[in-house]
Structure 1
Amino acid sequence: MEQRTHAATTTTSDPRARTADNGPELPGTHGRVVVITGAGTGIGRATALAFAAEGARVVAVGRRPEPLAETAALAAEGDGEIVPYAADITADGVPEAVVRHAVATYGRVDVLVNNAAVVGGGALGSYTRESIAPQLATNLVAPVLLTQEAVPHLERTGGVVVNISTSVGQRAWPHNAVYAATKTGLELLTRSWAVELAPRGVRVVAVAPGAIETPIADHQGWSPERRRALRAWQIAHTPMGRLGRAGEVAWAVTRLAAPSASFVTGVVLPVDGGAVVG
């Protein structure tokens, strides 16, 4: 793969001073470097394409090379670009390797989107260590390690971390409690990191999607009957009476990550058709 190195822009001595009014010291979406996990399909793919359409340079991370290549190909006509990086973010050394690759390719990191997730259903009494471990490793541990590795680079650029949670985690979710617990844990990390990193000029926000039309159920090998039952339950609990689209979540991610949102941190924005308040 051809390596492209782009020099980092100059930053202020005090990262907290970077605002939307500071001109070139806070770059716009065009030319920003964005790292997105779980970028091969669904919300991750839509988010990668949304950033690329605005001229960003995206490192698309995922376990499977083929979907990542498809994501990159879809962005071929835009001003930005998407570079696939196939890796399992739960493996030892991969969070460090992902950030290292982004910096080696583009010279900087402006936005980290922790999107990758594993859903594993089950009622209390059915769990095993083997069924719980992948959800904890992907949904909680990997974002911690990736963010930790990216922070020094985000500090230099006045960057942003966007965590992808779930609005259902703010309510009871029988038979999916472990998944919901990992996502509510990610929301607590969002709030805590927002306070911890504010003096370093790094913002941390989260987007909490509700019922979104994505292939995640297919990836879990669910039967058509189970998928239909899930969708019916989701629509019944969504006041707007429909499933959301991945692009609608991507819009929220790009807006919260934009320089014009420079005074927004620590928030968890539901994109759920009113499910949380309904």
Structure 2
Amino acid sequence: MLTLKNKISIITGASSGIGKATAILFSNLGSKLVLVGRDEKALDETISQCNPEIKNDILKVAGDLNCADTCKNIVEQAVNRFGVINILVNAAGILKSGSLENMKMEDYELSMNTNVKSAINLTQLCLPYLIKEKGSVVNVSSVTGTRSFPGVLPYCISKAALDQFTKCVALELADKGVRVNSVNPGVIVTNLHRRAGQTEEVYSKFLENCKNTHALGRPGTADEVANTIAFLASDSASFITGELVHVDGGRHAMTPR
């Protein structure tokens, strides 16, 4: 049976979406938590939905991961509170639209900093503790990292970079017993697309179109992605590393006919 009992897990992006669902699931699987997000009130809402039995074993860290001091603070607080780090889930991310013709360079830079650089920075800071515990890293990527889509160039590039980071670091750390994997979701019902600027009408049509773009005929849920993250993070996946796991209803396998 899947368990994360006695594990110490850092989860970024825990204030919403996949990160929030992962935090709640991890709490129910027995993990002690370090939850990170920019919105302190939203983090409190996540904590309110976590397993009450571990409420005293949840550390909240509010801050912007694009700030190097925030990343250092996360690791320092985690180690001061719990002594060890077993699991790191890099779930924080943003979606910026744009094609080569109209993409703003500041959107590209923000996408790379948030979706890639912050994950690299935090993983590097956690590394001595992950090596000591033979821990696990799970990066939240996207089907856009392995398949090409027009109109979201900065997002696609950042997720492709995150996937390569996953595979390279998995090889670098394998002999130290640290496993590194990614989940690559398809369209998941969260606030990600609304925050990217989609109106309710556009977003509704976007979700409806998932009947055609996803083999299983629907978008996914944050809980479905969280379940996969929990498996990859756990000892049940002890012989899996360097893997990109599509949680996308078969979207990555779709081809036009």
- TM above 0.5, one fold? yes
Structure 2 equivalent of residue 51 of structure 1: 26
Q: In the alignment, which of 58, 70, 77 is matched to residue 101 of structure 1?
A: 77
Match of 1:213 in 2: 189
Matched with 2:238 is 262
Q: Which consecutive unaligned segments of at least 5 residues does structure 2 have?
A: none
Instruction: Tell me whether 95-104 or 214-223 shows the greater mean CA deviation.
Output: 214-223
**Counterparts of 1:226 and 1:120, CA distance in 2:** 16
Shift of 1:226: 2.2
The offset of 1:269, in angstroms, is: 0.5
Which residues in structure 2 correspond to 1:6-85 (within 5 Å)? 29-79=4-54, 81-85=57-61
**Alpha-carbon distance, 1:99 to partner:** 1.0
- The Cα of 1:201 is off from its aligned counterpart by 1.4
* Bigger Cα displacement from structure 2, 247-256 vs 210-219: 210-219
Counterpart of 1:225 in structure 2: which amino acid? Answer: E
| Residues in 1 aligned to 2:137 and 2:194: alpha-carbon distance in whole angstroms | 28
Task: Using the TM superposition, give the Cα deviation of residue 235 of structure 1 relative to its aligned residue in structure 2, in angstroms.
Answer: 3.4
Residue 48 of structure 1 contacts residue 82 of structure 1 at CA under 8 Å; is this kept in 2?
no
Match of 2:252 in 1: 276
Larger helix share, 1 or 2: 2
Q: Secondary structure at the match of 2:52?
A: coil
Give the residue type in structure 1 aligned to 2:34: V
Aligned residue type for 1:54: L
Are the structure 2 counterparts of residues 57 and 86 from structure 1 closer, same or farther at C-alpha, using a change threshold of 3 Å?
A: same
C-alpha distance in structure 1 between counterparts of 2:62 and 2:199, whole Å: 28
Aligned residue in 2 for 1:12: none
Report the alpha carbon displacement of residue 257 of structure 1 after superposing the two structures with TM: 0.8
SS of the aligned residue for 1:212 comes to coil
Separation (CA, whole Å) in 2 of partners of 1:95 and 1:113 = 13
Q: Quote the residue 1:13 is aligned against.
A: none
TM-score under structure 2 length normalisation: 0.93
Residues of 2 paired with 1:236 and 1:169: CA distance? Answer: 20
1: CA distance between counterparts of 2:80 and 2:62?
16
Please, which runs of 5 or more residues in structure 1 have no aligned partner?
A: 1-27
CA 1:68–1:53: 2 relative to 1, 3 Å: same
Provide Cα deviations, 1:120-173, integer angstroms capped at 9, x if missing partner. 001221112222121111001001100100010001111001011101332221
State the alpha-carbon separation in 2 of the partners of residues 261 and 76 from structure 1: 23
Paired letter, 2:63:
A
Aligned counterparts of 2:153 and 2:106: Cα–Cα separation in 1 = 16
**Superposition TM-score, scaled by structure 1 size:** 0.87
The size of the alignment, in residue pairs, is: 251
Task: Give the fraction of aligned pairs with identical amino acids, expressed as a percent.
Answer: 34
Contact 1:211–1:235 (CA under 8 A) maintained in structure 2: no
Task: Choose from 132, 154, 157 the match for 2:133.
Answer: 157
CA distance in structure 2 between the aligned counterparts of 1:221 and 1:121, rounded to whole angstroms = 9
8 Å CA contact 1:54–1:79 kept in 2: the answer is no
Q: Output the CA distance in 2 between the equivalents of 1:255 and 1:226.
A: 34
Equivalent in the alignment of 1:193: 169
* Cα RMSD (Å): 1.4
Which whole-Å deviations, capped at 9, do the CAs of 1:232-276 have from their partners, x for residues lacking one? 333321011111111110000000111121111100111011111
Match of 1:181 in 2: 157
